[in-house]
Amino acid sequence: MSLDLSCLTCASAARAVAAGKMTATELTEAALAAVAARDPGVGAFLEVHAERALRRASEIDASPEARQAPLAGVPVALKDNLCLRGQRTTAGSRMLAPFSAPYTASAVARLEVNGAICIGKTNLDEFAMGSSTENSAFKLTVNPHDPSRVPGGSSGGSAAAVASGQVLGALGSDTGGSIRQPASFCGLVGLKPTYGRVSRYGLVAFASSLDQVGPMGRTVDDVALLLSAIAGHDPNDSTTADEPVPDYRSLVTDDPGSLKLGIPRDWLDAGLNAEVRGAVEDVLARLEGAGARIEAIDLPHERYAIATYYIIATAEASSNLARYDGVRYGARAENPRDLADMYSKTRSEGFGAEVKRRILLGTFLLSEGYYEAYYGRAQRVRTLIRQDFETAFTKVDAIVGPTSPTTAFPLGEKADDPLAMYLSDVYTVTANLAGLPAVSVPCGNDADGLPIGLQVIGKPFDEARILQVARMVEDLRAATTRSSP
């Protein structure tokens, strides 16, 4: 077995398969070998579907037509809150430990139709609630750049699987930064699409007005390729937009023309780690040198974003997670006194501490006497946050800044302090509240060699533009060093 995935990208692998220089089976075997060799030290996967993956690979190899697909033979990983028919889908929770998905998520089906090979399911914070993947009920995932640190979360397993060269790309989900922050911590490109760009059908619901499925990869080109595969209207998700899906890769060109970028005035203030600030300022200066115009903008209601986000996200979660009652699927507690006791016992045993905390908070916020004061008010502040972006986008094409206030933090550092963990999402939650597309792209490393991510936020359905900016950042960096774990 000589094939090394770390020398490949999704795009180059699919090209090689199309040209007959490589087979889907070789790529799948390489991925399975990389999982066997590297995952014991990383902990990215909850389950590996070796047999299924090899069977699909041989189907592709046997069909001249399938070998020409845009992702032919490309090994990918799926966050384990995305359903794959006949396979366990746990969402990182004991509650769903016995659950086998009866259907496949639309985004996953589209990846497979485009030739991708699903290698397995990756670890996550339980029900995607967390920023470090430490809330998984099953295992610990570490950062491939430094195993004493978190990979970020909640799509930490997907990020770690790609960053350690076990697969070439992955799907995650992003409710408040869960694709972008782990991409930033692991040195990857990760994109949260516009709300409605990608179907949520078959995604285990957390907060339905905020959740989006999105791609993670090592290059901007790969993320554009994966996005083109999964985006588009889906009759099974009535919130998907009926907007045409462009070929994102062909729109990301070498000559972007003139770009106007906005940097929110207080994003580089105190509270931001000095090395992260330095890296972001440096890349902004270089973007300016490359012809982009950069101006300070104001997002006056941005400082209320975390509070608004945690009200809306927990309220929606408390409603979505009411379905886990031990009746139709998932775990059920033993020896209940009666039906009511069965519900409460099942939920108390099946959910972990953070999920229970958020359900409790969300239930409180929606309860009689508090609904309007908290949830109603948060929905109105959400309008103000959206309007701030609308105003900003009359002046600039995209908004840039840090993805996370720090680089990957040590395992255990914030595990016992929920509020500190929530505050680490300060730069990412606004894109979810406003429904905007946003991408994180590597822009440097701190003194310990840990990756730093630049976030680019765009107008609705303007994924091509933020990928363009990300590509410029990637090109500027290519001149200097490129780090890999």
Amino acid at residue number 381: V
CB 143 within 8 Å of CB 157: no
Place of tokens 């969300």: 362
Residue ranges in 283-312 that form contacts with other proteins under rule CB under 8 A: 301, 304, 306-308, 310-311
Place of tokens 């998520």: 105
Q: Specify whether 367 is catalytic.
A: no
Q: Specify whether 79 is catalytic.
A: yes
Based on the shown chain and the rule CB under 8 A, indicate whether residue 405 belongs to the binding site for other proteins: no
Q: Closest distance between other proteins and the C-beta of residue 395, in Å? A: 21
Based on the shown chain and the rule CB under 8 A, indicate whether residue 279 belongs to the binding site for other proteins: no
Binding mask 314-333 toward other proteins (x if CB under 8 A, else -) reads ----x------xxxxxxxx-
DSSP 406-472: SSPPBTTSSTT-HHHHHHTTTTTHHHHHHT--EEEEEEEE-TT--EEEEEEEESTT-HHHHHHHHHH
Based on the shown chain and the rule CB under 8 A, indicate whether residue 102 belongs to the binding site for other proteins: yes
Based on the shown chain and the rule CB under 8 A, indicate whether residue 415 belongs to the binding site for other proteins: no
Catalytic option among 106, 173, 178, 184: 178
- 170 or 378, CB closer to other proteins? 378
- What are the backbone angles phi and psi of residue 397, rounded to the nearest 5°? -85, -30
Based on the shown chain and the rule CB under 8 A, indicate whether residue 241 belongs to the binding site for other proteins: yes
How many chain residues are in contact with other proteins, going by CB under 8 A?
67
Q: Specify whether 93 is catalytic.
A: no
Binding mask 181-220 toward other proteins (x if CB under 8 A, else -) reads --------------xx------------x-----------
Q: Closest distance between other proteins and the C-beta of residue 241, in Å? A: 6
Catalytic option among 154, 173, 318, 404: 154
Q: How far apart are CA 49 and CA 75, in angstroms?
A: 11
- What are the backbone angles phi and psi of residue 41, rounded to the nearest 5°? -90, -5
**Cβ neighbour number for residue 19 with a 10 Å cutoff:** 10
Q: Closest distance between other proteins and the C-beta of residue 42, in Å? A: 30
Q: How far apart are CA 106 and CA 365, in angstroms?
A: 32
Q: How far apart are CA 467 and CA 456, in angstroms?
A: 8
Based on the shown chain and the rule CB under 8 A, indicate whether residue 33 belongs to the binding site for other proteins: no
- 2 or 238, CB closer to other proteins? 238
Q: Closest distance between other proteins and the C-beta of residue 358, in Å? A: 10
For the chain, the C-alpha Rg in angstroms (whole number) is 21
CB 205 within 8 Å of CB 245: no
- 189 or 426, CB closer to other proteins? 426
- 9 or 104, CB closer to other proteins? 104
**Cβ neighbour number for residue 374 with a 10 Å cutoff:** 20
Which residues have CB under 8 Å from 37's CB, separation 6+? none
Based on the shown chain and the rule CB under 8 A, indicate whether residue 343 belongs to the binding site for other proteins: yes
CB 298 within 8 Å of CB 388: yes
Strands (E), 128-168: none
Place of tokens 């993805």: 403
Binding mask 347-386 toward other proteins (x if CB under 8 A, else -) reads xx--x----xx-xxx-xx--x------x-xxxxxxxxx-x
Based on the shown chain and the rule CB under 8 A, indicate whether residue 344 belongs to the binding site for other proteins: yes
Catalytic residues: 79, 154, 178
- Site residues (CB under 8 A) for other proteins? 98-100, 102-103, 195-196, 209, 235, 238-239, 241, 301, 304, 306-308, 310-311, 318, 325-332, 336-345, 347-348, 351, 356-357, 359-361, 363-364, 367, 374, 376-384, 386, 418-419, 422, 433-435, 460
